[in-house]
Amino acid sequence: DVVATDAIRSDFWDSLSGTWGGMVWAMAPSREAGGGDFERMHREGAVRAAQWASRFHVPMVYLSSTSVYAEADGG
């Protein structure tokens, strides 16, 4: 299954349940996006994703236009 969401909504992360085989967190700015909402989602969303992956020991890969990060035992 694939899930797409507004990753800065804490209720999304609080409601995730079940068994997950892994998480790929990917972000890339559009040419029209700059600062503001994109930066907030990039920073807050990535932090929430990593915290969730760490709490449930879900392997995570983080991809952005500027970096790549992988954690085998959660974010």
Please say whether the beta carbons of 60 and 49 come within 8 A. Answer: yes
Percent of the chain with pLDDT over 70: 63
In a domain, 60, yes or no: yes
In a domain, 6, yes or no: no
Going by C-beta distance under 8 Å and a sequence separation of 6 or more, which residues neighbour residue 43?
none
In a domain, 12, yes or no: no
In a domain, 39, yes or no: yes
Global pTM exceeds 0.85: no
- Decide if pLDDT at 33 tops 70: no
User: What mean pLDDT comes out for the span 50-56?
Assistant: 90
Going by C-beta distance under 8 Å and a sequence separation of 6 or more, which residues neighbour residue 31?
none
Q: Which domain holds residue 27?
A: 21-71
In a domain, 4, yes or no: no
In a domain, 40, yes or no: yes
In a domain, 49, yes or no: yes
Q: Can you give the length of the chain in residues?
A: 75
| Domain count for the chain | 1
Please say whether the beta carbons of 15 and 47 come within 8 A. Answer: no
- Decide if pLDDT at 6 tops 60: yes
What is the spatial distance between Cα 35 and Cα 21, in angstroms, rounded to a whole number?
32
Model confidence at 4, in pLDDT bands (50, 70, 90)? Answer: low
